[in-house]
Amino acid sequence: MHRHPELYITPSGDVLVPPEIARILWRQAGVEAFRDRTRDSISGTELAAVLEALRQSGERWASRAVPNSGTNSTEPGTSMPQSLSTTEVANHLGITPRAVTKAIHAGRLPATRTGRRWTIDREDLALHQATRTEHI
């Protein structure tokens, strides 16, 4: 499914940014680094407020993007697992653990190998889902 840009433009010309896209922009497209480089010159401006809105929206989305489904290590101050096993990801997506492993090997799903086990960062899974139109 292809999205049309006009779906994200209001009649007044404002741009609507879905929270999962805000997180991708902040985390992967370098918006945070841009904000850090220009912090002194943009302080108190509308640009600074928009960048902060992107950050907050993306963080809220990330905190609820993947439900707590296990007891893996957690980020400080949260009760959500930081990473998920291939079985947990498979259950979340309704596919087999083998399909998850194939997606990891094909480079479609970021994962970390520890010994013989793969773990998938819950936010990487959520970002993967937000940028794909099909399952893994």
Confidence of residue 136 (pLDDT cuts 50, 70, 90): low
pLDDT, mean of residues 20-45 = 88
pLDDT, mean of residues 68-91 = 65
Q: Which residues of 25-48 are buried (b: 16+ CB within 10 A; e: fewer)?
A: bbbeeebbeebeeeeeebeeeeee
Instruction: Name the helix (H) or strand (E) containing 112.
Output: strand 112-114
Question: What is the CATH code for 83-131?
Answer: 1.10.10
Adjacent-strand bridge partners of 84: 120
pLDDT value, residue 99: 93
Does 6 score more than 50 pLDDT? yes
Summary mean pLDDT of the chain: 82
pLDDT, mean of residues 7-13 = 90
pLDDT value, residue 65: 63
Confidence of residue 2 (pLDDT cuts 50, 70, 90): low
Q: Which sequence spans correspond to the domains of the chain?
A: 5-64, 83-131
